Amino acid sequence: MLLTSIGRALPAFLLFTGALGTPVEQRQASVDTFITSQRAVSIEGVLANIGADGSKAQGAAAGIVVASPSRSNPDYWYTWTRDSALTYKALVERFIAGDTTLRKKLDEYVSSQTYLQTVSNPSGGPDTGGLGEPKFNVDRTAFTGAWGRPQRDGPPLRATALTLYANWLIANGNTTQAANTLWPIIAKDLAYAVKYWNQTGFDLWEEVNGSSFFTLAATHRALAEGAALATKLSKTCDGCATAAPQILCFLQGFWTGSYIDSNINVNDGRTGKDVNSIISSIHTLDPASACTSTTFQPCSSRALLNHKAVTDSFRTVYGVNNGIPQGKAVAVGRYSEDVYYNGNPWYLATLAAAEQLYAAVYQWNTIGSITVDSVSLPFFKDLLPSITTGTYASGSATFKSIVSAVTTYGDGYVAVVQKYTPANGGLAEQFDKSSGSPLSAVDLTWSYAAFLTATDRRAGTVGPTWGEKSNNVPPTTCTAPPSCNVQVTFNERATTTFGENVFIVGQLTQLGNWDPNSAIPLSASKYTSSDPLWYATVSLPSSTSFAYKYIRKTSSGTVVWESDPNRSYTTSSGCGSTSTQNDTWR
């Protein structure tokens, strides 16, 4: 415990040299000790937040992952499809690696998700977009409050977690459970992904409505491995094999030449340097792959340069990073422009930065060589200033130097987490950018899961292949799927005065994402004193539920919203169909 306490109190570069050896050796010993104790705390932290018997999840249904026990400031007493899937992916990998005590938890997760897929919610019904609902109450009922919806990462992430389990069941003589219990859930998630991958939605931080790199990378993996699972089970996965390469083609457009722009098709006022791209890289790690840049594998040139760009973006925005030079680990947040809780480092983001480096080392050791090219050279130069481009075989001194330097760099990120983790090992969501004190939701499940996966990669433990080698060549030309849109005519009766105009605005991109400046104008060409009709016909995606409202704009630019609550509408499933919605100003 003494080494752990020292490690938390001092950054690695301030440890004294003495009987314990060089500062690097002391850092290594301190990180090793911290990992041993913190892994035990982290698996306990994850299980404590899973109903029905988790000690901090009392009242949650069996198999339901509670995001955090925090019920106010912030209220995270919900279950998010995304967080739950990533948590259970970590648990399935742990189960496959030998922790058989988790089998009951995995089966409870399967049951809970089977039920949640049937719950109608503000994003829609089971067959009309409802699988894109981001969160539910912990008793498995729908959350009906205002939120950033839909979020299209949940279904593919859940499909991946369950596909890992299904493949294990097949390999261990239980194909029946895989086919009859897991496949129906997976198939619904894959069908959602096929249908909606080319439509905008909210990103994993629930703030930006556009095209998210994280969502699409997760979807590409899910469809690739889902198609393979379907073949094993003699099932069909309609559209999976066709959509996967098109998504991979689309993903190439997020690469700017020096980093991944994490959200496109949206004007969010950000650079796009976002840790969501690093989380994408570690989620799509395939232990059997090469350092493939098209799939942004952790050891790929693109992913390494992106790691530098993203982590460097935090060096000057957090006080806790003051004085730390490039090539040394820093505290990492979501994105540098973040204002949530005044914008701070996140434990899971800092651990993701470590995990990518550990995963890269695993891949290099497996491949038996490291290639430094013009794209990745700036990353490597931060660690080894004299390095030049070339391919270095595993027996070479340069290979060993790179592996040592990158591992040490990864350990530095764990040391940052170590420094700002309280004595009891509790991992909150964030830590203060100036003082390092834990902030926001306590005992965040995703933080604990991130610690487990990062340190698994450090130990050389990885999940099974998902078939990246057969799914890493994008088509020469990207072809978007044929759109399945419907035409909805909105009739709004609103008595107006000269100079006033009426608009419709809502949560869809086609309705301006609630931005009055992007609202859709209604026509008054049929307006009469006896029938004050304003109308517009809008092309919208089929089978989609959404909220909307009408607003008035005066000639002076003043915006007047109609009264609450938000209106809601669900488009029909028939491509090219037409419908009319009649409303009256309130």
Q: What is the pLDDT of residue 28?
A: 59
pLDDT in tens, 307-359: 999 999 999 999 999 999 999 999 999 999 999 999 999 999 999 999 999 99
Tokens of 202: 């909210």
CA atoms of 172 and 159, how far apart (whole Å): 20
Confidence of residue 15 (pLDDT cuts 50, 70, 90): very low
Residue 205's alpha-carbon distances to 95, 121, 295, 334, 443, in angstroms, are: 28, 20, 22, 8, 18
| Greatest Cα-to-Cα distance within the chain, rounded to the nearest angstrom | 93
pLDDT over 70 percentage in the chain = 95
Is there a catalytic annotation at residue 206?
A: yes
Nearest to 81 by CA among 39, 121, 127, 40: 121
**Side-chain half-sphere of 273: how many Cα atoms within 13 Å?**
19
Tokens 């899961």 locate to 449
Number of H helices, E strands in the chain: 15, 17
Confidence of residue 212 (pLDDT cuts 50, 70, 90): very high
CB of 193 closer than 8 Å to CB of 187: no
Tokens of 85: 């899937």
CA atoms of 240 and 194, how far apart (whole Å): 6
CA quadruple 380, 384, 386, 390: dihedral sign: negative
What's the pTM value of the predicted model, to 2 decimals?
Answer: 0.87
450-463 mean pLDDT: 97
Backbone angles phi, psi at 407, to 5 degrees: -65, -45
pLDDT higher than threshold 80 for residue 23: no
Q: Which residues does 104 contact at the CB level (< 8 Å), separation at least 6?
A: none
Tokens of 108: 């409870």
pLDDT higher than threshold 90 for residue 199: no
Pairing of strands 567-570, 390-393: unpaired
Q: Which residues does 65 contact at the CB level (< 8 Å), separation at least 6?
A: 49, 50, 79, 80, 83, 84, 87, 88, 109, 445
Confidence of residue 555 (pLDDT cuts 50, 70, 90): confident
Least confident of 177-191, 402-416, 523-537, 556-570: 556-570
Beta bridge partners of 429: none
Backbone angles phi, psi at 127, to 5 degrees: -115, 10
Give the residue extent of every domain in the chain.
Answer: 57-254, 256-480, 485-584
CATH number for the domain formed by residue range(s) 57-254: 1.50.10.10
CA atoms of 124 and 426, how far apart (whole Å): 37
CA atoms of 524 and 526, how far apart (whole Å): 5
Q: Which residues does 574 contact at the CB level (< 8 Å), separation at least 6?
A: 486, 542
- Tabulate helix, strand, coil % of the chain (nearest 5): 45, 15, 40
Beta bridge partners of 392: 370
CATH number for the domain formed by residue range(s) 256-480: 1.50.10.10
pLDDT higher than threshold 60 for residue 10: no
Answer whether 57-254 and 256-480 agree in fold.
Answer: yes
What's the mean pLDDT when you consider all of the chain? Answer: 92
Mention the CATH class of domain 485-584. Answer: mainly beta
Higher pLDDT, 8 or 56: 56
pLDDT higher than threshold 90 for residue 583: yes
Catalytic residue among 32, 44, 206, 268: 206
Q: What is the pLDDT of residue 26?
A: 52
Residue 466 annotated in ligand binding = no
Confidence of residue 573 (pLDDT cuts 50, 70, 90): confident
Indicate the helix (H) or strand (E) that contains 264: strand 263-264
258-266 mean pLDDT: 91
CA atoms of 519 and 348, how far apart (whole Å): 36
Tokens of 155: 């279904």
Q: What is the pLDDT of residue 452?
A: 98
Higher pLDDT, 338 or 485: 338
Cα-Cα end-to-end distance for the chain: 64
Kindly give the interhelix angle for 154-171 and 213-232, rounded to the nearest 10 degrees. 30
Task: Check residue 169 and give left, alpha or beta (phi > 0: left; psi -120 to 50: alpha).
Answer: alpha
pLDDT higher than threshold 60 for residue 25: no
Q: Is 323 exposed, middle or buried (0-12, 13-18, 19+ CB in 10 A)?
A: exposed
pLDDT in tens, 102-142: 999 999 999 999 999 999 998 889 988 899 999 999 999 99
Residue 544's alpha-carbon distances to 82, 122, 150, 196, 484, in angstroms, are: 20, 10, 9, 10, 11
Is there a catalytic annotation at residue 203?
A: yes
**Side-chain half-sphere of 112: how many Cα atoms within 13 Å?**
29
Backbone angles phi, psi at 96, to 5 degrees: -60, -35
CA atoms of 495 and 585, how far apart (whole Å): 8
199-210 mean pLDDT: 90
Strand segments, DSSP code E, in 8-164 are 78-80, 135-137
Beta bridge partners of 255: 260
What is the DSSP annotation of 143-180? P-S------TTHHHHHHHHHHHHHHHHHHTT-HHHIII
pLDDT in tens, 543-554: 787 889 999 999
374-387 mean pLDDT: 97
CA atoms of 312 and 543, how far apart (whole Å): 42
